[in-house]
Structure 1
Amino acid sequence: MYDAEVSRELISKVTESVLAEMEAWRQRPLDRVYPVVFIDAIAMKIRQGQVVNRPVYVVVGIGLDGERDVLGMWAGTGGEGAKQWAGYLTELRNRGVEDVFMVCSDGLKGITDAIEQVWPQAVHQQCVVHLVRASLRYTNRKDWQKITPALREIYTAPTVAAAEARFEAFAAEFGDQYSAVIRLWRTSWPQFVPFLDYDHEVRKVLYTTNIIESLNARFRQAARRRGHFPTEQAAMKVLYLVVQQKRKGGGSITGRVYGWAKALNALILAYGDRITI
């Protein structure tokens, strides 16, 4: 009995220490400029009377030094919404993030306005991974082997004009069968094309969301082990520990982006008047 009480006391002290550390991390000041920021939300099962799916909003940024970092995480209520995003992005601005060059996200309705409300000069870049994934949801699996390489031809085009030509060819081939896919791409086009103005090094950073996709995969893995979280605090504590985990041989969430120097040179040409190093 005594040993059990000691164990509970030790666990309680460790938990309190982690929660205090997490709160300090969530309030820490941030850099003034982030060239690229990725935003996404992932559903977590959290008990609030009954177990429900709640969105956890996540922001990952790449600083001028090429270091990637999780800038913030928040547990929301209900479904993911642009209004909630506006509030969380405003919190980042209040913590020091005065300027962002590009914000990469999915195609959530109203998200462009939310981004511009906080960082008026930021470009909203539609996440290509999300766009392709959404496209495939409207198609039959048996056609994926034809559709996937055709879409790749569009988002790897050397110029905007070439992308437009390839998209029109795609629309001519698949439009009758998959009109919803064509409509999705036409609606998303203004947010899809910005990264096409940059060379290969910048595109690798922008159109592959490996950073946040990898983080979400680890979040899901941690959640599956538990089934659901008993409280919001418990969920955020576990996700915080996932973010802080250091992996040997690379693969950590934080760290330097490979080949960042080339990408930064291209960004300086585009945003030189807004960069101070």
Structure 2
Amino acid sequence: YQHLQAYKNSILPEEIFAVFIDAYHAKMRDENEKLTNISIYLAVAIDMEGYKQILGYWIKKGKENKSFWIEVFQDMISRGLKKVAIFVSDDFSGLTDVVNQFFPYSDHQLCWTHMKRNLRRKFSKREYSLLNKHLTFVKESLTKDEALGHWENFLKELSNLNPSLSKQYEKKSENYLAFIDYQQEIRKHIYTSNVVESVNAGLEMMRLELGGYFPSMRTLEINLFIQLSNLNDKWMRKPVAAFRANLYEMRQILNVKFGLEKFLD
């Protein structure tokens, strides 16, 4: 248990290239033997050397909400995190405000996997196929102008099907297209928060093995700590090749973003 506490309070790097954040929802038996809703907040990073690592996890009773995300960001900052090129998350209400509040020089990319999942739920197979065609063109674009053109086509197609939804996406265009400003090789790694969802899959397996819910906070924390430690050990053996090949470019991106600080402060 001491190792667990040391892990939760460990010092973080000052600079991280990408931080992927997500929340997993489940039920846990509380001290009164009642099942209660919990949210497990996770942050996974790709560091300035191209390695994936887990920055931390935070367990809160209740549903995901903005105040919990504020606590998560405050904790990461208190443990040493200062500069991040890009955050990647799902489109949780208020999360963009939290990113802008604590990391105003960082990009915030909204997850395409979550977006496509939502579109698939709302539209027929044929309608989704038409929308996805434009999204594929966006991802394959070589320049930002080209990507913006295909995104506009996507919004027009969406407007024909659901005008109010199209307006919602239009307002968040900057966040859905943040990844386009990065090197071609690393774009595919930063337009989705799938790296965190792989951790969530492990949590889901753990929950099912324990009978559909977590029997106590201690059981959850110890099992989670073991899973995350094993993942960290595995990830630290081999960097992500696309990032490793672009270390100079990654450094330049961070320098440009946070070099502005000196002039704007």
Q: TM-score, normalised by structure 1?
A: 0.82
Match of 2:25 among 43, 48, 63: 43
* Contact residue 104 and residue 126 of structure 1 kept, 8 A: yes
Q: Can you list the C-alpha shifts for 1:134-182, whole angstroms capped at 9, x where unaligned? A: 2222212454444333322223322332223213323333432233542
Percentage of identical aligned residues: 24
In 1, the alpha carbon distance for the partners of 2:105 and 2:11 equals 21
CA RMSD after TM alignment: 2.3
Match of 1:100 among 77, 84, 95: 84
Task: Tell me which of the two structures has the higher relative contact order, counting C-alpha pairs closer than 8 angstroms and 6 or more residues apart.
Answer: 2
Q: Can you list the C-alpha shifts for 1:236-262, whole angstroms capped at 9, x where unaligned? A: 221221112259xx9x45552223223
Q: TM-score, normalised by structure 2?
A: 0.86
* Contact residue 68 and residue 253 of structure 1 kept, 8 A: yes
Residue identity opposite 2:117 in structure 1: R
* Contact residue 55 and residue 80 of structure 1 kept, 8 A: yes
**What 5-or-longer segments of structure 1 have no aligned partner?**
1-18
Q: Within 5 Å, give how 1:133-172 maps onto structure 2.
A: 133-141=117-125, 143-172=127-156
The residue number in structure 1 matching 2:248 is 265
In 1, the alpha carbon distance for the partners of 2:85 and 2:67 equals 21
Residue identity opposite 1:266 in structure 2: E
In 1, the alpha carbon distance for the partners of 2:83 and 2:155 equals 37
* Contact residue 157 and residue 163 of structure 1 kept, 8 A: yes
Structure 1 consecutive aligned stretches of length 4 or more whose deviation exceeds 3 Å: 141-147, 171-174, 178-181, 252-255
1:125 aligns with 2:109: yes
* Contact residue 106 and residue 130 of structure 1 kept, 8 A: yes
Q: Can you list the C-alpha shifts for 1:173-231, whole angstroms capped at 9, x where unaligned? A: 34322335423421321211221112212212211433212111111111111111111
Match of 1:53 among 37, 44, 55: 37
Aligned residues: 254
Residue identity opposite 1:265 in structure 2: Y
**What 5-or-longer segments of structure 2 have no aligned partner?**
260-265
1:84 aligns with 2:65: no
The residue number in structure 2 matching 1:185 is 169
The residue number in structure 2 matching 1:245 is 230
Q: Structure 1 173/208 Cα, relative in aligned 2: closer, same or farther at 3 Å?
A: closer
Q: Within 5 Å, give how 1:8-87 maps onto structure 2.
A: 19-48=1-30, 49-87=33-71
* Contact residue 195 and residue 207 of structure 1 kept, 8 A: yes
